[in-house]
Amino acid sequence: MLQATYKKHLLHFKQASGTSRGVLKTKETYLLKIFDSNKQGYGECGLFRGLSVDDRPDYEEKLQWACDHIGHGKDFLISELKAFPSIQFGLEQAFLSFQSHHPFELFPSDFVTKKQPISINGLIWMGKPDFMQKQIEDKLAAGFSTIKLKIGAIDFEKECELLQVIRKRFSAEKIELRVDANGAFTPENALEKLKRLSEFELHSIEQPIRQGQIQDMANLCSRTPLPIALDEELIGITDIDKKEELIATIQPQYIILKPSLVGGMQGSMDWINIAKKQDIGWWITSALESNIGLNAIAQWTAHLKTSIPQGLGTGSLFTNNFDSPLHVEKGFLWYCSNKKWNFEW
């Protein structure tokens, strides 16, 4: 008989990581196990406090409900848990893991079997200019050709100076620059700031204004001098018609999918299919999961056969992550099958 259980795991950052919403020191997550008398399957329900739509007082109660009803199967549970995208994603992972010949090899792809790496961006966290400059130097030295800077927390001109330093050293052909404002700009000042940022030949900017200002975002996307990517804007929208309406209204240049925040792989595929119909670009990003969830996101991303650099470089941020075959080198995420998982439950 199929059974399930979960446990909480608190991830600790190696160093406090700054965003426009504040400084992160820990990241709460929940590990899920489904099992019978013969085998086990594992998943991660990556709740993101303050950002996830399922950051609710009854989260663990609903997670226990999913465990209690695990025998009803994945499709039933996912359909009943639309308000809990991170639990949906954890269940998807756990059922795939349970059905696989190896609990952490979820999708057959060259990423796993032939050591074909995934191109990723190097992430620069917010902080004082010298701290951000040090991160930039480290990422360039590590061989990243795509760098993403979180902006919006320090003086805007200081952030522009950092971008200018990179551009003086490297052309847009050598180093691709992305920025993520996490909604830090206002509808009144956003266009002016985008014009300033466009001087640095950026690939894109994520979520320049806060989510929910749909008409303002649509106006911005129609007038922007640099491509805009929707991120937080997609969170909490589960109905397919509403997804189509949002994309048709805003007409962004890109969308960014965080499976833990938008209903797992199934919810993400809804967005991807809508974007493809309208010639809108997309990429996948992790949301500070442990290596359990990151592994699932990476293998699923590889399975989609996309070539644009992805946002999957967060596995090395924590002091108490699980050792895994995932390895970042020279701007790529690798699955080194000769390295073993250090995860027991």
Contact status, residue 234 vs residue 206, Cβ threshold 8 Å: no
| Catalytic residue list | 150, 258
Kindly give the pairing relationship between strand 176-180 and strand 204-206.
parallel
CB atoms within 10 A of CB 98: 20
- Residue 1 burial class via C-beta count within 10 angstroms: exposed 0-12, middle 13-18, buried 19 and up: exposed
Q: Which residues of 156-176 are buried (b: 16+ CB within 10 A; e: fewer)?
A: eeebbebbeebbeeeeeeebb
